[in-house]
Amino acid sequence: MTDETHLRAELYLRGDTYGTFDAQQQVLNRVNRLEANGVFTESMVAGEWQRIRTMAEDTRSGALATYEEFADWADRNGSSLEPAFEQRTRTYVGMDRVDEVVVFPVVSLAIYDEKRLQSVFPCADGEHVYTVGDALEAFERGDEGWLAQFDTVTVDRTEPWLEAGVEALP
């Protein structure tokens, strides 16, 4: 990475999924090694989110604000966050209530260069699905140009929505 590049890796883990702890820890260990080797200026577990979030449930966590930021990046790149992230409706048996929800993946990774969102994983562009593992492998082999295939989106923060206690976007 160049001296002008200050990459921050934000790792998001889903806490309510049985049997994924070891896989999540392996990803975390790889991210920590990349930071120790100077690939990332900073890395962090930016937060833990639950499987499904509704607007009513997200008044403090910032999970949907994070999702909206990721979705903006995906739109800019002609990509999709699906199938890893899923936006859908949820109905309730015996009730007329219908909620718009987002289903979050077990692990996701966002790469920032200061206030520019460089990339989000997993994502898909119609031809390829780019996983968290694909991104980490590119960083581990020192492929500095790999991120250049993605357009950046400027964001107005340098701390994760979930960590900063920032309220969800209106």
pLDDT tens-digit readout, 57-66: 655 567 888 8
Contacts of 17 (CB under 8 A, 6+ apart): 51, 106
Distance between CA 27 and CA 11 in Å, rounded? 9
Structural domain count of the chain: 1
What mean pLDDT is predicted for residues 76-96?
Answer: 88
pTM, 2 dp = 0.86
Q: Which domain holds residue 114?
A: 7-160
For residue 168, is pLDDT > 50?
no
In a domain, 19, yes or no: yes
Is beta strand 42-49 parallel, antiparallel or unpaired with respect to 52-54?
A: unpaired
In a domain, 112, yes or no: yes
What was the pLDDT predicted at 27?
96
In a domain, 42, yes or no: yes
In a domain, 1, yes or no: no
In one letter, which amino acid is 134?
A: D
The DSSP result for 23-74, as a single string, is: HHHHHHHHHHHHHHTTS-SEEEEEEEE-SEEETGGGTTT-HHHHHHHHHHHH
pLDDT tens-digit readout, 98-121: 888 888 999 999 999 988 999 999
For residue 4, is pLDDT > 70?
no
In a domain, 165, yes or no: no
In a domain, 119, yes or no: yes
What was the pLDDT predicted at 96?
86
Range in 21-30, 89-98, 117-126, 158-167 the model is least confident about: 158-167
